[in-house]
Amino acid sequence: AQSVAQPEDQVNVAEGNPLTVKCTYSVSGNPYLFWYVQYPNRGLQFLLKYITGDNLVKGSYGFEAEFNKSQTSFHLKKPSALVSDSALYFCAVRDALLGGSYIPTFGRGTSLIVHP
């Protein structure tokens, strides 16, 4: 089975500073990787995905992620953090094929706290 690991339960950053939320993956074959965000009292929302092509993927709300094959990582980044970015972030990888669709496997999530 494919898997992702998010090594940090929580990341703290000051508003205006760059942020990084880490994710590493373990797959057989080519990885299909995703980031989702969960704001308080909401469901998960899709941010971005890597399928193939450029290693730097741009997504919603100014977020981007860098795919690094040699380090098997897919870290989420943003140049300048906002207080409103405070949320729970999930990394995911394409996993089993069920019913004609690939089902993602999610990480444990990383809580991002941006301080004013």
Q: Which residues bind another protein (CB under 8 A)?
A: 9, 32, 34, 36, 41-46, 49, 51, 90, 94, 97-109
Token look-up 């444990």 returns: 108
Token look-up 């998010």 returns: 6
Nearer Cβ to another protein (35/81): 35
Nearer Cβ to another protein (30/80): 30
Taking the C-alpha atoms of residue 27 and residue 89, their distance in angstroms, rounded to an integer, is 20
Residue 43 beta carbon to another protein: minimum distance, rounded to whole angstroms: 3
Residue 100 beta carbon to another protein: minimum distance, rounded to whole angstroms: 5
Half-sphere exposure of 2 (CA within 13 A, CB side): 23
